[in-house]
Structure 1
């Protein structure tokens, strides 16, 4: 990340750049579907009497977000008829994905989970697939649209919009469901996808000419290595450019340390994601009403998340990215112990507020720092594929493990489950410390020695 020192006025002025402002609305569009196939969906299912074990298996719908790297090369390179010509390769894929999300949410609104649980699962899977595809396009747009000096502001506005959408898809959907119905809540969420559609039509496409030259050079090099000299078929050329080159470039740039980076990305949010699927069922089973959950967990938690995100950005500017990563890993793991204590105390609203504030501040800070770190690892010639690789690995282990969370809760109770979730955070803490010490050693070796 750039270490250029700016005045406070210059730093704040970055947030007024048109493309930086745009990231709030694109972040909103990206964040809206997530809870609708995750914690809000689990509250809907539990409210209709679906078993906790079945709810736990719904966590595997979220694995779709964790394997988006499998089709990210297609989004990175494939031209969509009409849409790419009219909007460009990033905005074209954004628009198609947004329309797909809205259609899926309308479908979910028309289904009764008690009568057609499998149909709910398939529609949730479709929404998750379209949402993950939108994430690939938006992440690529965010990294390509502005220079590195503005990536902090771009990420901050993206996270802010994302969290506003999660507030609406979380607390807003619960309020609507309490006052009207779950179908009405999901129809309203489908209509709000119009925010993303309008933004996509208004913004301009990034300039890809410079990064395309870099990609062409690497593609030619690997075509010769893998296929030899001469003319090659278009499919082979596309496969090398879209699939081979993004991964080769990452490993060439980082060497064997690339594997350590990928392991770290995979385990950093393990503790946080593994417990997330059981949060709303936990609150309901503890005795809190949906309105109390919306007011404390979603509404109050939203402002705590914004505070945490702002804190993460300030710490990155002041101390760099690695020390805040250590702090974030420690805080996220420790907040699970507070959930374990709440399970023993019972439905105490003061304790719920304490737990929610700690959880959302630590989660907001850790997420903002991690987004900045992952953005710095991606080469702009292959932003969609490389960032999809990072963000897929960031959630895959946690999503897989969380699928068994209902079994653990049914067998051993909530308190023991949250203790296990806290222990899952230890590897991320140790690796964060290792990265920081490694950077310090490298920095020391580069300094001139006294004569």
Structure 2
């Protein structure tokens, strides 16, 4: 196993670590403070930087900080920003919605900036034949980071306050800083953009010269739409069914991580034997079907076995799908404009999670949980139809 693959795991951890601190953990904090469901749903908008990160990505391709190199230098600054804003977030309160939303927005900005650099670093340091395996390690590290903050945060919520939880995780973010300091700077054989104008125009000019450029973006936009919509409301869903934060932490986040890792590893192995399009087909269909498990869970009583089964199936298929998804996007980038082009792809990937999930609170209230998750399952179909057309053009 090569060093870049191992580094991809730890950088995935640093990338996933802050994500749910402005997502499910913040949702649980707000729910505990009796904030209404519609407001919780709207808080997905603090994740807008994840969809807009292509705007500042050209700076990361064309300018090199004074220390540590082009990738590690930017990465260190982003991680320092995450640490500072997380610490400030621990002194806010959900009842002051404008304040906590503003600080959470800053957290997601620096987290998105970190993602920009890590995505570019991973593409530039991994050989082409390592993209599938490297993506699997990255995704599993990403999931582990989310597990520690989400499962750990929800379990700890029964014993300490949410502000104390956020301060603890602020300290743990230094794991990412240590990784950055010890990782080697990737060597790029192609030339870098010269000046801000070229760094902005050249990546988009190169990408949109491709005949299927728009189709790829629409596919990225819709492939995980249903999964993102369902995932955004799962914490309020579990709590509304009467599960405690400890049960959610241990089963949904803890046990679920194991099945996600298994799914990611199996997905990476299968991608050595089938084409990336075949993998996207298989994983995408399974991913859509897994959402129906939540509809069945909604009509069950407080049944821990039903919770384990629903969570396991969804996490397993999500791990498979995310591995293929990440490898597909990485394979599309040109190494001269890695940060900008990958940011474009991942920004489109983030739109369902941020913008299209904003009204899910209203949708769940209107439809009820059973019909809501059926609706989310139907929302996976457009992505598969686009995949079919994309595959035909590729052959």
Fold shared by both chains (TM-score > 0.5)? yes
- SS in structure 1 opposite 2:190? helix
Find 1:26's aligned residue among 5, 8, 11.
11
Q: Are residues 1:123 and 2:80 paired?
A: no
Q: Are residues 1:57 and 2:42 paired?
A: yes
Q: After the TM superposition, list the runs of 4 or more consecutive aligned residues in structure 1 that deviate by more than 6 angstroms.
A: none
**CA contact 1:177–1:184 (8 Å) conserved in 2:** no
Alignment partner, residue 363 of structure 2: 408
Alignment partner, residue 279 of structure 1: 234
Alignment partner, residue 140 of structure 1: 120
Distance 2:23 2:187 in 1: 35
Alignment partner, residue 312 of structure 2: 357
Matched residues, number: 395
- For each residue in 1:41-81, what CA deviation from the matched residue of structure 2 results, as whole angstroms up to 9, or x when unmatched? 111110111110000000111222011111111222233xx
- 1:223-238 alignment to 2 at 5 Å? 238=195
Structure label with greater radius of gyration: 1
**CA contact 2:155–2:250 (8 Å) conserved in 1:** no
Q: TM-score, normalised by structure 1?
A: 0.85
Distance 1:360 1:27 in 2: 17
Alignment partner, residue 421 of structure 1: 376
Gaps of 5+ in 2: none
Distance 2:208 2:232 in 1: 34
Alignment partner, residue 138 of structure 2: 158
Alignment partner, residue 390 of structure 2: 435
- SS in structure 2 opposite 1:111? coil
- 1:339-378 alignment to 2 at 5 Å? 339-378=294-333
Gaps of 5+ in 1: 1-14, 217-236, 443-451
- For each residue in 1:96-150, what CA deviation from the matched residue of structure 2 results, as whole angstroms up to 9, or x when unmatched? 1101111111111111212x22111111100100000000001101111132122
Distance 2:353 2:9 in 1: 27
Distance 2:303 2:47 in 1: 30
Distance 2:299 2:270 in 1: 34
Find 2:251's aligned residue among 269, 288, 296.
296
Alignment partner, residue 66 of structure 2: 85
- For each residue in 1:369-407, what CA deviation from the matched residue of structure 2 results, as whole angstroms up to 9, or x when unmatched? 011111110000100000000011012134212100111
Provide the aligned C-alpha RMSD in A.
Answer: 1.4
Distance 1:355 1:128 in 2: 29
With a CA cutoff of 8 Å and minimum separation of 6, indicate the structure with the bigger relative contact order: 2
Distance 2:183 2:288 in 1: 39
Alignment partner, residue 86 of structure 2: 105
Q: Are residues 1:66 and 2:21 paired?
A: no
Instruction: Return the offset for 1:413.
Output: 1.3
Distance 2:369 2:55 in 1: 35
Alignment partner, residue 344 of structure 2: 389
